[in-house]
A and B are shown apart, each in its own frame.
Chain A
Amino acid sequence: MFSYLMQGFANVFQPFTFLLACFGTLVGVVIGALPGLSGSTGIILLLPLVYRLEASQALIMLCGLFCGSMYGGSISAVLLNTPGTPSASATALDGYPLCQQGKAGKALGVSAVSSFIGGLVSTICLILIAPQLAKIALNFKPADYFALSFFGLTIMASTGKDPIKGIISGMLGLLISTIGVDKLMGIDRFTFGTYKLMRGIPLLSVLIGVFALSEFFMQSATKGEADNKLAAQKIGRVIPTWVDFKGFALSAIVGAVIGVFIGIIPGTGGSISCFIAYQVAKRMSKNKDQFGNGALEGVAAPEASNNGTTGGAFIPMLCLGVPGDVVTSVMLGALILIGVKPGPQLFNESPAIVYAIFAGMFVIQFLMLAAGIGCAKVSPMILKISRTLLMPIVAILCMIGAFSNANNVFDILLAIVFGLVGLAFKKFGYPGAPLVLGLILGSMAEENLDRALILSGNNWGVFFTSPISCIFMILSIGSLLYALYANVKAVVESRKAAKNACVASEV
Chain B
Amino acid sequence: MEEKDKKGLFVKNTKVAADFIIAIVVIAIAVVFLVEAQKLPTKAKGIGPGVYPTFISILLLFLGVVQVIKCVLLVKGIPVVDGPNVDWKGLARIAIMVLATYLFYKLLKIVGFLILAPLYLFFAICLFGYKSKVKAAIFSVVFTTAVYFLFTKVFLVMLPAGILG
B-side interface residues, number (CB < 8 Å): 73
Using an 8 Å CB-CB cutoff, how does the interface string of A220-240 with B read, 1 for contact, 0 for none? 111111000000000000000
Contact B97 A217 (CB under 8 A): yes
Contact B94–A172 (Cβ < 8 Å): no
Please tell me if the beta carbons of B43 and A495 are within 8 angstroms of each other in the complex: no
| A416-B64 in contact (CB<8A) | no
Q: Are A428 and B144 in contact (CB under 8 A)?
A: no
Which residues of A lie under 8 Å from residue B19 when comparing CB positions?
A: 428
Bound complex: CA A388 to CA B93 (Å): 14
A residues less than 8 Å from B104 (CB atoms): 399, 412
In the complex, the chain A residue whose C-beta lies closest to that of B158 is A407
Is B115 among interface residues, defined by CB-CB distance under 8 A? no
Q: Let me know if A178 and B52 touch, CB within 8 A.
A: yes
| CB atoms of A172 and B47 under 8 A apart | no
Query: CB-defined interface of B117-133 with A at 8 Å, one 1/0 digit per residue?
Result: 10011001101111000
- Please tell me if A484 contacts chain B, counting CB pairs below 8 Å: yes
Asked if B29 and A221 make an inter-chain contact with CB atoms under 8 angstroms apart, the answer reads: no
Contact among A175, A219, A388, A490 with B57 in the assembled complex (CB-CB below 8 Å): A175
Which chain B positions have C-beta within 8 A of A424?
Answer: 22
Q: Are the C-beta atoms of B93 and A487 separated by less than 8 Å?
A: no
Interface stretch, picked from A90-98, A374-382, A453-461, is A453-461
Q: How far is the CA of A49 from the CA of B155 in the complex (A)?
A: 7
Is there a chain A Cβ closer than 8 Å to B84's Cβ? Answer: no
Task: Report the bound CA distance from A6 to B79 in whole Å.
Answer: 68
Return A358 CB to nearest CB of chain B, in Å: 28
Contact string against A for B residues 1-23, beta-carbon threshold 8 Å, 1 for contact and 0 otherwise: 10000010110000100110010
- A449 touches B (CB below 8 Å): yes
Within 8 A of A (CB), among B21-56: 22, 26, 29-30, 33, 36-37, 40-41, 43, 45-49, 52-53, 56
When the two chains form the complex, which single residue of A168, A400, A413, A494 contacts B63, counting CB atoms closer than 8 Å?
A168
Report yes or no: A427 in contact with B9, Cβ–Cβ below 8 A: yes
Most central of A220, A451, A490 by chain B CB within 10 Å:
A220
The CA-CA distance from A407 to B152 in the complex, in Å, is: 12
The distance from the CB of B88 to the nearest CB of chain A, in whole angstroms, is 11
B:76-126 near A, CB below 8 Å? 77-79, 87, 90-91, 93-94, 96-98, 101-102, 104-105, 108-109, 117, 120-121, 124-125
In the complex, the answer to whether A409 meets B108 with C-beta atoms within 8 Å is yes
Given contacts A190-B36, A428-B15, contact A453 B157 (CB under 8 A): no
Q: Does A52 contact B (CB under 8 A)?
A: yes
Interchain CB contact under 8 A, B90 and A175:
no
- A182 to B160 alpha-carbon distance, docked (Å): 31
Q: A52, B43: Cβ atoms under 8 Å?
A: no
A-B contact count (CB 8 A): 199
A502: interface (CB < 8 Å):
yes
The answer to whether B159 and A172 have CB atoms under 8 Å apart is no
Given contacts A175-B53, A392-B125, A428-B15, contact A416 B101 (CB under 8 A): yes
B121 touches A392 (CB 8 A): yes
By a CB distance below 8 angstroms, the chain B residues around A392 are 121, 124-125, 128
Chain B residues with CB under 8 Å of A454's CB are 45-46
Shortest distance between the CB of B16 and any CB in chain A (Å): 10
Contact B49 A48 (CB under 8 A): no
Contact of B47 with A174 in the complex, beta carbons under 8 Å: no
A44 to B139, CA, bound (A): 23
The answer to whether A446 touches B52, judged by C-beta atoms less than 8 angstroms apart, is yes
Beyond A171-B59, A458-B46, whether A407 also contacts B157 by CB under 8 A is: yes
Answer yes or no: B66 CB below 8 A from chain A CBs: yes
Per a CB cutoff under 8 Å, which of A167, A182, A502 touches B78? A502
Q: Is the Cβ of A495 less than 8 Å from the Cβ of B74?
A: yes
Q: Does A187 contact B (CB under 8 A)?
A: yes
Q: Point out the residue from A220, A428, A484 that lies within 8 Å of B128, measured CB to CB.
A: A220
Which residues of chain B from 135 to 160 have any CB-CB distance to chain A below 8 Å in the complex? 139, 143-144, 147, 151, 154-160
In the bound complex, residues from chain B placing their C-beta under 8 Å from that of A446 are 47, 52
Name the residue on B nearest A392 (C-beta). B124
Is the pair B151, A400 in contact by a Cβ cutoff of 8 Å? yes
> Closest residue to A222 on the B side, CB-wise?
B90
Note all chain B residues with C-beta closer than 8 A to A189.
36-37, 40, 49, 53
Binding site for B on A (CB under 8 A): 48-49, 51-52, 164-165, 167-168, 171-172, 174-175, 178, 182, 184-185, 187, 189-190, 213, 216-225, 386-389, 391-393, 395-397, 399-400, 403-404, 407, 409, 412-413, 416, 419-420, 423-424, 427-430, 445-446, 449-451, 453-454, 457-458, 484, 487, 490-491, 494-495, 498-499, 501-502
Given A221-B91, A407-B158, A419-B101: 15 more A-B contacts, CB < 8 Å: A52-B154, A52-B156, A164-B67, A175-B56, A190-B53, A218-B7, A225-B129, A386-B130, A389-B125, A389-B139, A392-B124, A395-B121, A395-B124, A451-B46, A454-B45
Q: What are the nearest 4 A-B pairs in CB distance?
A: A221-B90, A392-B124, A223-B129, A388-B128
Query: Which residues of B does A touch, CB under 8 Å?
Result: 1, 7, 9-10, 15, 18-19, 22, 26, 29-30, 33, 36-37, 40-41, 43, 45-49, 52-53, 56-57, 59-60, 63-64, 66-67, 70, 73-74, 77-79, 87, 90-91, 93-94, 96-98, 101-102, 104-105, 108-109, 117, 120-121, 124-125, 127-130, 139, 143-144, 147, 151, 154-160
Could you show 7 A-B contacts with beta carbons less than 8 Å apart?
A: A52-B155, A165-B67, A187-B49, A220-B94, A223-B129, A389-B130, A429-B15
